[in-house]
Amino acid sequence: NAGVTQTPKFRVLKTGQSMTLLCAQDMNHEYMYWYRQDPGMGLRLIHYSVGEGTTAKGEVPDGYNVSRLKKQNFLLGLESAAPSQTSVYFCASSYRQSPLYFGPGTRLLVL
Amino acid sequence: GDSVTQMEGPVTLSEEAFLTINCTYTATGYPSLFWYVQYPGEGLQLLLKATKADDKGSNKGFEATYRKETTSFHLEKGSVQVSDSAVYFCALMDLTGYSTLTFGKGTMLLVSP
């Protein structure tokens, strides 16, 4: 039981490049989330999904897109990366009204 | 909207000292409350939770009581260890919504031998 896994662990991008972060969970959770963590800001919700094929915006969705084509996967896309998107990205999953389980994070540096 | 306020860190303690990290919240409904811990270079791990007023969550010697009258959920431990050095996040989940977590900004705890 791997829990929540994230790929890649670390990435460096140049401004304007695109990339996709992959999150996978093997706990059969309905709900999945993407958060970003920045110094002094705590964690802020980017997008979330309450089931396969559904997504919704969180607190800071601008510049990101997501897809949930399979129940176990939740993808976060950056179409045109900006330095302001330098952050640590965490994926999480849960059952409804239950604690979230977090992945180990992806460190992204945009130059 | 919902919000969580934590005391700013870092909190610096000697081993075996008593720990309190304050957390207060603002919510329109009756949220569930959580403490998460983040060790250096790792993701967040659930430390404890409480789902209704007067509930006490506990784990690994840490405790927190859901106080509705003061809208607080302070984290306490009677005797900290060097291995407790980490960042602690207080969070709330609005049960009327889609089970998203609203986090405080985190409090770093540094324990010296």
| Phi, psi dihedral angles at B84 (to 5 degrees) | -85, -5
In the chain, the amino acid numbered B28 is T
Q: Which of A92 and B30 is assigned the larger pLDDT?
A: A92
Neighbouring residues of A51: CB distance < 8 A, sequence distance ≥ 6: A30, A31, A68, A71
- Nearest CB to B100: which of A33, A40, A98? A33
Q: What is the mean pLDDT of chain A?
A: 95
A22-59 confidence digits (pLDDT tens): 999 999 999 999 999 998 888 999 999 999 999 999 99
Note which residues in 33-92 of chain B have CB less than 8 A from chain A. Answer: 34, 36, 42-46, 49, 89
B59-101 confidence digits (pLDDT tens): 999 999 999 999 999 999 999 999 999 999 999 998 777 788 9
Q: What is the mean pLDDT of chain B?
A: 94
- Coil/strand/helix, residue A19: strand
A99 interaction partners in chain B (CB closer than 8 Å): 34, 46, 49
Q: Kindly state the helix (H) or strand (E) to which residue B45 belongs, with its residue range.
A: strand B44-50
A59-82 confidence digits (pLDDT tens): 999 999 999 999 999 999 999 999
| pLDDT average, residue stretch A3-20 | 96
DSSP per position, B87-107 = EEEEEEE-TTTT--EEE---E
Instruction: Give the minimum alpha-carbon distance from A43 to chain B in angstroms, rounded to a whole number.
Output: 6
pLDDT band of B1, cuts 50, 70, 90 = confident
